[in-house]
């Protein structure tokens, strides 16, 4: 059981407020505890249960309400508590079975990204939602950005003219300790189940999804990838990519290039660039800073909407649309389906990389990677097409 402090705010929410349970309450789940705790304290929800296989970590910003129950097994929790909404923040390969159990128990879902790991699982979850009449919101929180809405409004209003390309660049750094954080970190599969804990699928998934959301504004519906090409690289003996360039083409939408790394030289939080015949726009999606044609400098666009709050509002009033319904994420899952079949990423070493720090804080960087990624994004090209010496030919799904 938890040693976390009970909350004075156990004064709690109204009895008729939606009852929320969180599965995966440690690690990244602590951010969900803060969001749920704030809504609990103002009476929007009741936090009725926390679930984790490990003892509950303390979260000073979100003390556990006195009447919140703590479990080590989600099935036991579902039977004992019968929540209205289940937030799932567990390893990606566990999402589908937990989600199916929660739907069968009568709960709606807030499901962390990636929601599932292939289109077959996406279809299975879609079928379960239809059969149970329940709801699923996916944890692509950057889709709630008012800056993204301002960008897509500018696109549909014609301020950029006919679009010729959508691209994203993100350059992060992850130390050795990042890959020691859990048994599934950096793994392609675990216990016979796909995990796909690579840069495109997990930490920089938002960059890919933002591009797909922009393309959706052009086509009027979630895009259907027709061709997918990807070059994947790694700087450690992991099973997945920490550096990748992805190109997606779809019917009716402009080509998308996502150029990302966890082995960057200089930090780039995440930029989505949209180019058209009449202008160019840049959205820094983690900070909601937006540059539109005619602007002298990027400006912050406030007003990001929370996914759990939006789900609660939609439950009460179906005219309020969900920000990130499962159907909207189908193109992202199609990309994961391709990655699932892709060969092992190329391991880079020698003079191509440099090491900084030691022990768990050691960082491995790819020399010149930021320039490579920016050039790829600007030209809509893959590193092998740019003549990058360490690049390998792209992988393309067959059929």
Tell me the CATH number at 344: 3.30.360.10
Give the per-residue pLDDT at 253.
Answer: 87
Q: Decide if 382 contacts 247 (C-beta within 8 A).
A: yes
Q: Do 186 and 118 have their domain in common?
A: no
| Residue 312 within a domain | no
Q: Do 205 and 154 have their domain in common?
A: yes
Give the up-direction half-sphere exposure of residue 85: CA atoms within 13 A in the CB hemisphere: 28
Give the per-residue pLDDT at 1.
Answer: 38
Mean local confidence (pLDDT), 41-51:
97
| Residue 221 within a domain | yes
Compute the distance between CA of residue 62 and CA of residue 376 in angstroms, rounded to an integer: 42
Give the per-residue pLDDT at 251.
Answer: 85
Mean local confidence (pLDDT), 59-75:
95
Give the N- to C-terminal CA distance of the chain in Å, as an integer. Answer: 51
Pairing of strands 64-65, 19-23: unpaired
Closest CA to 112 of 190, 227, 23: 23
Give the per-residue pLDDT at 193.
Answer: 83
Q: Do 123 and 160 have their domain in common?
A: no
Looking at 110, 126, 141, the residue that finishes a domain is: 141
| Residue 315 within a domain | no
Q: Do 168 and 267 have their domain in common?
A: yes
Closest CA to 51 of 94, 7, 114: 94
Looking at 99, 123, 141, the residue that finishes a domain is: 141
| Residue 311 within a domain | no
Report whether pLDDT(56) > 90. Answer: yes
Q: Do 114 and 147 have their domain in common?
A: no
pLDDT single digits (tens) 70-104: 999 999 999 999 999 999 999 999 999 999 999 99
Report whether pLDDT(264) > 60. Answer: yes
Q: Decide if 176 contacts 359 (C-beta within 8 A).
A: yes
Q: Do 240 and 376 have their domain in common?
A: yes
Looking at 86, 114, 141, the residue that finishes a domain is: 141
pLDDT band for position 276 (50/70/90)? Answer: very high
* Domain of residue 34, residue span: 6-141
Q: How many domains does the chain have?
A: 2
Give the per-residue pLDDT at 398.
Answer: 82
Report whether pLDDT(10) > 80. Answer: no
pTM, two decimals, is 0.93
| Residue 256 within a domain | yes
DSSP state of 398: -
pLDDT band for position 189 (50/70/90)? Answer: confident
pLDDT single digits (tens) 87-96: 999 999 999 9
Give the per-residue pLDDT at 204.
Answer: 97
pLDDT single digits (tens) 372-391: 999 999 999 999 999 999 99
| Residue 34 within a domain | yes
Cβ-proximal residues to 357 (8 Å cutoff; 6+ apart), any chain:
175, 363
Give the per-residue pLDDT at 12.
Answer: 56
Give the per-residue pLDDT at 280.
Answer: 97
Compute the distance between CA of residue 109 and CA of residue 222 in angstroms, rounded to an integer: 21
Give the up-direction half-sphere exposure of residue 121: CA atoms within 13 A in the CB hemisphere: 24
| Residue 308 within a domain | no
pLDDT single digits (tens) 97-141: 999 999 999 999 999 999 999 999 999 999 999 999 999 999 999
């Amino acid at each position: 059981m938890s040693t976390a402090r009970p909350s004075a705010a156990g004064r709690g929410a109204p009895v008729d407020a939606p009852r929320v349970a969180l599965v995966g309450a440690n690690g990244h789940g602590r951010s969900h505890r803060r969001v749920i705790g704030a809504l609990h304290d103002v009476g929007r929800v009741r936090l009725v249960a926390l679930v984790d296989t490990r003892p509950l970590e303390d979260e000073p910003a979100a003390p556990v309400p006195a009447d919140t129950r703590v479990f080590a097994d989600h099935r036991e929790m579902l039977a004992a508590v019968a929540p209205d909404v289940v937030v799932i923040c567990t390893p990606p390969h566990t999402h589908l079975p937990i989600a199916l159990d929660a739907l069968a128990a009568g709960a709606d879902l807030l499901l962390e990204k990636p929601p599932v790991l292939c289109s077959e699982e996406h279809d299975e979850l879609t079928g379960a939602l239809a059969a149970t009449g329940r709801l699923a919101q996916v944890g692509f929180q950057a889709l709630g950005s008012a800056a993204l809405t301002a960008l897509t409004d500018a696109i549909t209003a014609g301020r950029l003219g006919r679009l010729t390309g959508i691209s994203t660049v993100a350059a992060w750094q992850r130390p050795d300790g990042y890959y020691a954080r859990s048994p599934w970190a950096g793994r392609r599969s675990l216990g016979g189940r796909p995990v796909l804990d690579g840069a495109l699928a997990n930490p920089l998934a938002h960059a890919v999804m933002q591009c797909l959301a922009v393309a959706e504004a052009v086509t009027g519906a979630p895009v259907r990838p027709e061709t997918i090409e990807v070059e994947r690289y790694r700087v450690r003996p992991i099973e997945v990519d920490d550096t990748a360039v992805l190109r997606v083409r779809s019917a009716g939408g402009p080509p998308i290039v996502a150029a990302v790394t966890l082995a960057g030289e200089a930090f780039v939080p995440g930029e989505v660039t949209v180019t058209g015949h009449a202008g160019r726009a840049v959205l820094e999606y983690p900070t909601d800073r937006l540059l539109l044609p005619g602007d002298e400098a990027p400006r912050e666009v406030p007003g990001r909407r929370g996914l759990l709050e939006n789900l609660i509002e939609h439950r009460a009033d179906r005219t309020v649309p969900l920000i990130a319904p499962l159907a909207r994420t189908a193109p992202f899952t199609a990309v994961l389906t391709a990655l699932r079949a892709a060969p092992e990423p190329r391991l880079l070493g020698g003079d191509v990389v440099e090491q900084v720090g030691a022990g768990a804080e050691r960082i491995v960087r790819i020399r010149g990677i930021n320039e490579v990624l920016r050039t790829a994004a600007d030209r809509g090209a893959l590193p092998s097409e740019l003549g990058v010496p360490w690049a390998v030919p792209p992988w393309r799904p067959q059929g």
